[in-house]
Amino acid sequence: MLDSLDHCTYMHAAIDSREDTPVFEKKSSYTPAEANRAYDQLDQRVAEKTLTPRQAGAHRRHIASRVRVALKPAYTPQAAKRAKAEIGKLTEAGTITAKSAAAYRAHITKRTLVAWSPVTGKSAALR
């Protein structure tokens, strides 16, 4: 019987040679701007061969599931138009999913302030 672990230095050397610092710092949530910076950093790490494309894809899925968008309780028609344009940009960049974008647009549309016309005496939704 062997009393020491000197015979299995191969596995221990591989474990001991790794750095304790993570290659990519994961966060619990990301703003859209932080997500874009993280995506750029992942692309750079793949180009440097620090990460494999498969690892980068896993990090991208992690980021995509944790992007947070600040939503307001009410929007003016101009603010709603800007917010919807921003949602479109985030969807095109792949920062948020199409389903999330649809939910955000519905939220914005539902909370867009309604203008009252003194001429007609009726409310007209400005979208």
Residue-wise pLDDT for 49-100, tens only, equals 989 999 999 998 898 888 888 888 999 999 999 999 999 988 888 888 899 8
Rounded average pLDDT over 103-124: 77
- At 62, list the tokens: 């992690």
pLDDT of residue 12: 41
Q: What is the pTM (predicted TM-score) of this model? A: 0.57
pLDDT of residue 121: 60
CA 81, 87, 90, 91 torsion-angle sign: negative
pLDDT of residue 49: 92
- For 15, the 3-state DSSP assignment is helix
Residue 90 Rama label (left phi>0; alpha psi -120 to 50; beta): alpha
Consecutive H or E run containing 8: none
Match 């921003």 to its residue by tokens.
86
